Structure formats: structure tokens, C-alpha cells
Structure 1
Amino acid sequence: MTGRRALLVLLSGMAGGLCTLVASPTSAGAQSNEWKVEGELGGAIFFGNREQTQFSTRMVVERADELFESASDFRFSYGVSTDSEGVREINRRSWSASTSLDFRPEERWRPSVSGRMESAFERRIALRYNAGAGMRVSWDRDRRNRVDFSLSILAERTYAREGGRGTPDEVSLARWSSNFRVRRSYFDDRFSFDSNNTYRPVFDSFGNFTLSSRNSFSLGLTEVIALRFSVSTEYDSGALDRGADTNRDGQVQITMVARF
């Protein structure tokens, strides 16, 4: 019950923050320039000795004005395989929802707050959520050509799936969080590059950490549709202790993207 109540509280807070941003006054012309929405869809089917099906989707919503800049990221992936005897096995099932809010986005140094929730079958995480605050420094020409670095402190709680190797079912701790992101676009945004890397060590134990890395190249086919090649890696130093097969999990994908 504690985890469910905390999940509802965090969901309500995220929804309230998004509603506040939507309700803020802007002119119709300015609003179209301030919003950025991106949807991504990918999948694969394998057949033969071992049939496999994989599916992933992602949605990013960003908004910026002279007072605030917000970004929300929603992801879901699912994979299932079937052996020669017809036995089906789930090999991937994960989702995440994150949001961040920067104050004074026109300044180079910006206070920021963030929150994130996730669940990952392959890393034996039933639910993990965190929230925190920090500072971000940004060098940018526009929202598609930017270099960011941020440092923050997070409070985090993790609920492990059943079947762990003697680890607690519930862990609460504090983490440092550092993020480095580079975004570049070329040829009138026909070609773009995005590198996003995050390192989150436990506050007093830097050997206990999570590491996320996502690097992608996008080729615009039309003004709206793009083809994207991405390499993503997740490392969690506690995954093996929770019963996962490995601490590292990654994927290489080619996906279709719609940008508005």
C-alpha cells in the first residue's frame, strides 16, 4: 500500500505540474513555437528456431517560454520469445515516465527540479521513483543546438520484484545525479544528433550507481517524419542482487519518428 500511495502522489504531482504549464497564458502564435512534441515507434519480429517479437514506443513533450522550460519523457518497451515447443517467455517489459522543470531558461545557470518513475522486468524493478533539485548550465543557440550539464540531489525508493537474492524488497536512499547532453542539427534540421548520458551514484557510495546512455542520429524524410538510429544502454549495479541475469541492459534500434 505504501508504494501505491507514493505512486499516486507522484503521478498527481506530475499531472498538476503539466496542467499548470498548459494553463499558463500565451498567445496562439507564440504557443506553437514554444511547444515541441515527438513520438517514436519501433518493432521487430524474428522467426525460425526461436520466434521473438519486440515493440517499443516513446513520446517527448517539451515547452519553453521566458519563465520556465519543461520536458516530459514517456517510454514503453515489450519483448516476448517462443521456443520450438511453443513455450512463451517475456524477455523485456519496461516503462518509464520522467519530467523536469527549469527556471529562468534564458539564463545560462538555471535552477531545476525533476522526477522520474520506472519499472523494468529485466532488471527486476517492480517500481522505482525519485525526485530532486539541482542546477543546470547550458550553452545553446536554440533548442535543437544545445550543450547541457546538470548536477542535482535525488531522493529515491526502489521496490524489487519477487525472486531477489536476499536483497531487501524496499530500498530508500539518496543519490547524486549528473547529466550531460549534446544536441546538434544540420542541413535545416534534416539531420540531427542527440547524446544524453546520466550517472547517478548513491550519495555516500560511488560504486553503487546507475548509468543511462542514449545516443541517436535522425534523418528527416519529410517535415514531420524522420528515421532514427539509436543505441541505448542502462547499467544498474544492484540488478544482479535483485535477481536479474546481468547488471547491464541495452538495445540498438531503427525507429520511425513523428515531430511536431
Structure 2
Amino acid sequence: MQRGKGMKYVGDSRVKAEGRMRNVPKDYSEYPGKTEAFWPNFLLKEWMVGAVFLMGFLVLTLAHPAPLESLADPSDTGYIPLPDWYFLFMYQLLKYEFASGAYNVLGTVVIPGIAFGALMLVPWLDTSKERRPYRRPIATSLMLLGVASVVFLTWESVAQHDWEAAAEQGKLQEPTDIDMEAQGYEIYASQQSCIGCHGDQMTGGAGGPNLLETEKTPEEVIEIVKNGQGAMPADQFDGNDEELEILAEYIANHGQNPEE
């Protein structure tokens, strides 16, 4: 049986002095302040910290519930998607030229793979028993680099996002009473450039204003469609002049058949 700091007591010559008792935790008194037993000391601390963060997160979800938006519209090409806050750093990374377009695989697979792979390899890269950060340069450097990258990319994503447009595009709209049986709506729905920016209900979104609130005449609508206005480019209508006139009268009449 082994006791103390190296002293051995053998009561029977048939008992091996080097034998180790199973399921008996090592005596950590030799390393004061440097380590502790995993069970129950360390694991209990982890559970307590996790419980505090979990309760704080639940309080936040109750105090600030997720906002409701309008129904998803797959035809709305002007919609600006925004992931949840914990994925904003990845969303921002894909905005850079070296991680998007032709290099999309680099931004979605290679860079995240290297980052998370390095974090997974930390236990093998740094086998030091020191607990002070400055005595563990590899692990500390990797963690600081990871945290700084996530914080910076998240901050950039929040700063660059158009929050006013996002609030407008997600705003709940009251049901409209536009005439979807009219010829003007058939022409409107056939134009991807129209329905993509102004929505299937003509109430607008991130790409265009609410057409039901316009006070323009049919002639002014035709002028805007042909020459563009603001962010709307010119010559986006794919149809003949007669169809354009029908559409302009329909829009000027706030989504109702002009003949009525």
C-alpha cells in the first residue's frame, strides 16, 4: 500500500510494493494550487458556471423575444437575409473577395476547417500542466486569435448591415385587397424585376417602396419604369408598350382594375 510522499509500507513480502490500488484517486497534495481532481471538484465548478450562463440566457430570451416578421416570400429577390448573431462572423467572412465567389470553398470549408481544427488540436499542441495563461503561449495565442477574429467579424457585420431596410422588409403587413384577377396584376406578377422588389402584394420591401401608397399618374409611372428612379435601374420592364400602359394604370389605381 502506498501512502504519503514516496514512503512505502509492505506488510507481506508477496504484495508488490509498486502495486497501485484501482479506483483510488491520486493524492494531489504534492501539487498545491496546480491541479485538482476532475470528479467532483472540477466537474462541479463547470456545472455551476454552465447553470449561471443558462439561466442568464433564458432570462434574455424572455426579456427580448424573437421578433415576428411577415410570411416568407420566395419570389422576393430583394430580401436581405441575416443569420442569427452567433453566425454573424461567418456571414461577414463570406463578404470578402478572398472567401466568396470563385473562392467560396475557401470561405466556407478551408478557413473554418483550419480554425476549428486548430482549436481541436490544442490539447496535443500544448501539453503543459501550467494553468497560468502566460506560461501556455500556444494555447493562449490560439484562443486569443479565435476570440479576436469572431469579435471583429461580428462587429463588422453589425456595423455594415442596413438595419432600417431589414426592419422594413420584415415588417408585418396588413392584408391587402388588391385585385389579383385584373390583367394589370398578371402583367405585374410576370415581371420578376417588379415582384422581386415590391413583393407579391405590392407592399414593397428592402428593394422597393410600397406601390399601393403611390400618388403618381400612369404617365409618371411609365416614365419611372423606362428611365428608372433612385436605386431602380432603367429599362427593367420585359413587355410591350400596351402591357406597360395597363400596368401603369393598375399601379396608379392602387392595385385595382381601372375599369371599375
Tell me the TM-score normalized by structure 2: 0.20
Q: Which has the higher contact order (CA 8 A, sep 6+)?
A: 2
Structure with a larger share of its residues in strand: 1
